[in-house]
């Protein structure tokens, strides 16, 4: 439980660092940049797995469909939802949608595994979601903005839930690698169609540095940490730590010279911490975990 919690927190801290870095990419071609990001991340994951002797079992049968689902929802549609969403809603609205992820995972994760949600986890997830929403704040939107925010929420949850059936045999490294290269291919196609062949040539040096950070820290490292955590403590408990993302983002903004957050943000951070503590209360029995990783896949 302790190691799984630390892995989940570390993964979400990495993801939270993406907020400040992503501001550099506001004027960059989105799909092309993301395709380069995931391509680099896939290369790094493959190199690190081979260097450290990590098993990379080849997907088979329906596993390809699960992995394609992760790439399509959590990597491609998520990015589309965020981009289209901010055209109809303030960024805080999208952030609040993501803040609901812990509650969805706490309920749907166990149900997908054929068991009842754990009351302590659901309660903690609800508190985490409230705290994360406080950190993000409110914002103006319209009907389309609500729709795009709902898509962002659904795809963010799918990124975790669709991995549960394949984590058992493939493990976190293989799941991360295959989802990432599939996402890179899909985003590259979108980049060619929407942004044109020359989009990559418009990237500046700071765009490439930001994309490298997203590839190495927010993708290669964070994906392995996150899926390792899901394998150890289940999607429901791991989902509690998604509330760490807005807190990390707020802290990162201060470190980069931004304004010190107001009292509401600090209160939200405290509520997130309380929710995580509530959700982790009581060690789970083996049957409570959504998945159990097998060190030597068949």
Rg (alpha carbons) of the chain, rounded to whole number: 18
pLDDT tens digit sequence for 250-284: 676 666 666 676 787 778 888 888 888 888 875 45
- Highest-pLDDT range among 48-52, 260-264, 284-288: 48-52
The phi, psi pair for 287, rounded to 5°, reads -75, -10
Q: Tell me the percentage of the chain whose pLDDT exceeds 70.
A: 84
pLDDT higher for 262 or 240? 240
CA 56/CA 173 separation, integer angstroms: 7
Region 13-32: what's the mean pLDDT? Answer: 80
Region 14-24: what's the mean pLDDT? Answer: 75
Measured from the Cβ of residue 233, the count of other Cβ atoms closer than 10 Å reads 28
pLDDT higher for 60 or 270? 60
Region 213-220: what's the mean pLDDT? Answer: 92
pLDDT higher for 104 or 247? 104
pLDDT of residue 298: 31
pLDDT tens digit sequence for 72-107: 999 999 888 877 776 776 666 666 777 788 888 888
Mean pLDDT of all residues belonging to the chain: 84
pLDDT of residue 244: 81
Residue written as token pair 């927010």: 218
The DSSP code sequence of 97-122 is HHHTHHHHHHHHHHHHTTSPPPHHHH
pLDDT of residue 72: 96
Whether 235 shows a pLDDT value over 50: the answer reads yes
pLDDT tens digit sequence for 149-165: 889 889 989 999 999 99
């Amino acid at each position: 439980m302790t190691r799984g919690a630390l892995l989940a927190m570390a993964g979400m801290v990495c993801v939270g660092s993406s907020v400040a870095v992503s501001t550099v990419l506001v004027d960059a071609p989105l799909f092309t940049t993301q395709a380069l990001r995931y391509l680099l991340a896939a290369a790094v994951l493959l190199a690190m797995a081979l260097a450290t002797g990590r098993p990379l079992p080849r997907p088979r049968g329906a596993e390809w469909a699960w992995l394609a689902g992760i790439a399509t929802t959590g990597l491609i549609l998520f990015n589309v939802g965020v981009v289209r969403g901010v055209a109809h809603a303030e960024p805080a609205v999208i952030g609040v949608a993501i803040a609901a992820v812990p509650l969805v995972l706490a309920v749907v994760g166990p149900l997908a595994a054929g068991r009842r949600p754990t009351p302590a986890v659901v309660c903690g997830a609800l508190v985490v979601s409230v705290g994360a929403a406080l950190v993000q704040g409110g914002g103006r939107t319209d009907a389309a903005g609500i729709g795009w925010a709902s898509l962002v929420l659904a795809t963010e949850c799918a990124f975790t839930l669709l991995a549960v059936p394949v984590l058992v045999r493939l493990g976190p490294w293989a799941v991360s690698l295959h989802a990432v290269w599939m996402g890179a291919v899909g985003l590259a196609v979108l980049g060619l169609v929407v942004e044109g062949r020359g989009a990559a040539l418009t990237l500046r040096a700071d765009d490439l540095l930001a994309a490298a950070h997203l590839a190495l820290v927010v993708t290669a490292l964070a994906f392995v940490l996150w899926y390792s955590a899901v394998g150890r403590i289940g999607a429901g408990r791991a989902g509690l730590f998604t509330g760490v993302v807005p807190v990390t983002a707020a802290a990162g903004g201060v470190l980069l010279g931004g304004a010190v957050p107001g009292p509401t943000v600090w209160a939200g951070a405290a509520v997130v911490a309380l929710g995580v503590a509530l959700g982790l209360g009581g060690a789970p029995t083996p049957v409570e975990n959504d998945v159990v990783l097998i060190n030597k896949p068949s």
